[in-house]
Amino acid sequence: MNITFLGAGSWGTALAIMLAKEGNDVTLWSAVESEVEMLSTYREHKNRLPGVILPDNIVVTSDEELALKNPDLVVFSVASPFVRSTAKRVSKLIKDDQIIVNVAKGIEDETLLFLCDIIEEEIPNARVAVLSGPSHAEEVSIGMPTTVVVGAKTQEIAEYIQDIFMNERFRVYTSPDIIGIELGGAVKNVIALAAGTIDGLGFQDNTKAALITRGISEISRLGIAMGGKMETFLGLSGIGDLIVTCTSNHSRNHNAGYLIGKGMKADDALKEINQVVEGVNTAKAALKLSQKYDVDMPIVESINAVLFDGVSAEKCLDLLLTRGKKEEYDSLSW
C-alpha cells in the first residue's frame, strides 16, 4: 500500500514506522520545516521518539502535492487544533472517494464538531473514518502489544483500514459508532487532566479509581445523549483509553494535570509540557456540550474552573466530594 500521513508528531510517526515495517510505502508529511529537516537528517524523531529509527521506506516531506500524489490511504495525524487548517490546505489535492482515517482526538471549541466532521466538512469528496483506543506512541513505535478500534460509516471502509493496520502486535477491532469513539477519545483527555491533578495533590489509588469510574460515567452520559452507544464507552475507546491516559507518565494531559496539582499555574504547566495538551481545548468544548445536551458533568466543570477561572485544585476536589447526595445510577429502580 501507498500510505500518506499528514502530521509527523509522535503518534503519526509511530504509526508510520509500524506500517512501514509491514512493507508499505509510507510518506510522512509535516508543515513544520524544522521537523522535516530533523526526520530527514537523523531518521529519528529526537524530541518525541528518541532511539526509534525510521525505516528506509518512509519518505519525509513538507510538499503536500508529493505526499498526496496517489495514496491508497490518507492518515490525518496532526494535533486536533490543526485538523481544520490542514484539511483546508490539502482539500483540492484529495481524490474523490479517498479513504481518510483520523487518528487525533479532540472537539473543535468554536463549532463543537468532532474531528471526522471537520474533515468531512472541508473535504466532502472523501470517506472519513476514525482510529482510537489505548495507544501511546512511545509503546507502539517499539512494537509493544496494543489494541484499538476503527469506526466508519460502512463495514467495508472499517475492514479496509483494519486490514492495513492490523498485525501481530497491533490488533484492530471495527465499530459503526463513530460518535462514541470520537467522544470517548476526546473527553478522556479532560478526565486525564483531573487524574494528573489528583496525583500532584498527593492522593493515591482510592481517589484515582473513583475519578476514572465517575469519569467514564460522565463521558457515557454525554455520549448517549449525542447518539453514541454504551458498548463503546465500555470498550477500547471508552474505559480502555481512559485508564491508560489517567495512569501513564506517557500522557501529556496527565503530566500537565500533575504540574497543576503541584501548584503550578495552568499556563506555566502547558509551557513546561511543550506539546499540544489536547484536553485543555477539549475541556471548554465538553462543558459546552454538557450544557447543550443538559448532561451533568461535574468533573469536566471542575477542570474548567481550574484551567480558566483560577479556582484551586484543592477547592474543586472539596466541592466534588461535598455535592448533594445522589444515587450511583438513577436508571436503576429499587
Percent of the chain with pLDDT over 90: 96
Give the angle 329-331-332 at the CA atoms, nearest 5°. Answer: 80
274 pLDDT band, cuts 50/70/90, is confident
**Integer Cα distance of 181 and 185 in angstroms:** 6
Query: How many domains does the chain fold into?
Result: 2
Same domain, 62 and 143: yes
Q: Over range 201-225, report the average pLDDT.
A: 97
> What is the Cα 60 distance to its own chain's centre?
23
Domain annotation covers residue 244: yes
Q: 110, 141, 176 — which closes off a domain?
A: 176
pLDDT of residue 189: 96
Same domain, 72 and 189: no
Same domain, 269 and 133: no
Same domain, 137 and 231: no
229 is catalytic: no
In this prediction the pTM is 0.96
pLDDT of residue 331: 87
Parallel, antiparallel or unpaired: strands 146-151 and 73-76: unpaired
pLDDT of residue 275: 84
The alpha carbon dihedral of 136, 142, 145, 148 has a sign of positive
Q: What's the pLDDT tens digit per position in 303-315?
A: 999 999 999 999 9
- Compute the CA torsion angle 288, 293, 297, 303 (nearest 10 deg): -10
Q: Over range 229-256, report the average pLDDT.
A: 96
Q: What's the pLDDT tens digit per position in 108-166?
A: 999 999 999 999 999 999 999 999 999 999 999 999 999 999 999 999 999 999 999 99
Domain coverage including residue 115:
2-176
- Compute the CA torsion angle 139, 136, 51, 169 (nearest 10 deg): 30
Task: Say whether pLDDT at 276 is over 90.
Answer: no
CATH number at residue 84: 3.40.50.720
Same domain, 164 and 265: no
Same domain, 22 and 137: yes
63 pLDDT band, cuts 50/70/90, is very high
Q: Which residues of 138-170 are buried (b: 16+ CB within 10 A; e: fewer)?
A: bbbbeeeebbbbbbbeeeebbebbbebbbeeeb
Lowest mean pLDDT among 171-175, 226-230, 280-284: 280-284
- DSSP assignment of 55-69: PTTEEEES-HHHHTS
Percent of the chain with pLDDT over 70: 100
| Candidate list 188, 271, 288, 315, residue with the active-site label | 188
Residue 149: its H or E element: strand 146-151
**Integer Cα distance of 266 and 185 in angstroms:** 22
